[in-house]
Amino acid sequence: MANIVLAHGAWSAAWAWKKMRPLLRAAGHEFFAPTYTGLGERAHLAHRDIDLSTHIQDVLAVLEIEDLTDVTLLGHSYGGMVATGVADRAPGRIARIVYIDAFAPRDGQSLFDLVGPKAEANMRAGAAKDGDGWKLPINPMPPDTSPQDLAWASPRRRPQPIKTFEQKLRLESTQAPPPRHYIYATRSGPGDAFRQFGERAKSEAGWKYFEIDASHNPHITCPDVLMALLTRIMPNKWEDK
């Protein structure tokens, strides 16, 4: 049994983990899935000044108010930026971080730094054209997403405040980061931004590397497979420590 806290992806929210909730509950885990300010059911709070620090604070607040410790922190996609910041600011509460096809920044890096200038320019152009300069238009879902899942998810996705991708993460803790696990989705298509972090996890101390036969959203396209992999990772608490 574990306390599991989610840092979800961009354009998304807690709703996207609907299929995972009963699986985690059946395994006896406590699952906390805060939605970031300005997205999902909190889209009515969106404004141009929301940044990465806002979303880090959204997750930190759950840790503090629920008084959670020994936490397995899941970071999916953009949520890897958030999870890295959360672990830095609350190191005593985090047992491990699991990056699920996610960005794994170093100190001083923004998401735009990690995707490269071409992708950044394309996203900025989209915000200028369709997002009043500060809302990043919704990214398409992976092509293997079923029609049923597209019909469910598409109306719930919301534009992403651009400052969340612009702000550079500043790491402040003097403690070593918690054990980190990287799950790389092997069906990533052209423009794969996540292979670089899988390669880092394979070569750098403090990481364990895993692969999943899935595209970028395994919590939607193959939740049972993702749950099986998380089950392999989470019981190893005595090894992590």
For the stretch 126-163, pLDDT in tens is 999 999 999 999 999 999 999 999 999 999 999 999 99
Task: Please enumerate in sequence order all residues whose Cβ is within 8 A of that of 63, keeping only pairs 6 or more positions apart, or say none.
Answer: 5, 71, 86, 90, 93
pLDDT on residue 189: 64
Outline where 12-116 has alpha helix (H): 20-26, 52-65, 79-89, 111-115
For the stretch 85-107, pLDDT in tens is 999 999 999 999 999 999 999 99
Within 13 Å, how many C-alpha atoms sit on residue 213's CB side?
A: 3
pLDDT on residue 3: 96
For the stretch 29-60, pLDDT in tens is 999 999 999 999 999 999 999 999 999 999 99
Based on DSSP, count helices (H) and strands (E) in the chain, helices before strands: 11, 8
Confidence category of residue 202, pLDDT binned at 50, 70, 90? very high
pTM, whole model, 2 decimals? 0.95
Residue 190 has pLDDT above 60, yes or no: no
* Residue 176 in tokens: 């070593």
For the stretch 177-189, pLDDT in tens is 999 999 999 997 6
CA-CA distance, 156 to 74, in Å (whole number)?
21
Which backbone phi and psi does 140 adopt, to 5 degrees?
-65, 150
Q: Could you tell me the residue ranges of all domains in the chain?
A: 3-240
pLDDT on residue 82: 98
The CATH homologous superfamily for domain 3-240 is Alpha/Beta hydrolase fold, catalytic domain (3.40.50.1820)
Q: What are the catalytic residues?
A: 77
For the stretch 109-126, pLDDT in tens is 999 999 999 999 999 999
CA-CA distance, 194 to 56, in Å (whole number)?
21
Find the largest Cα–Cα distance for the chain: 51
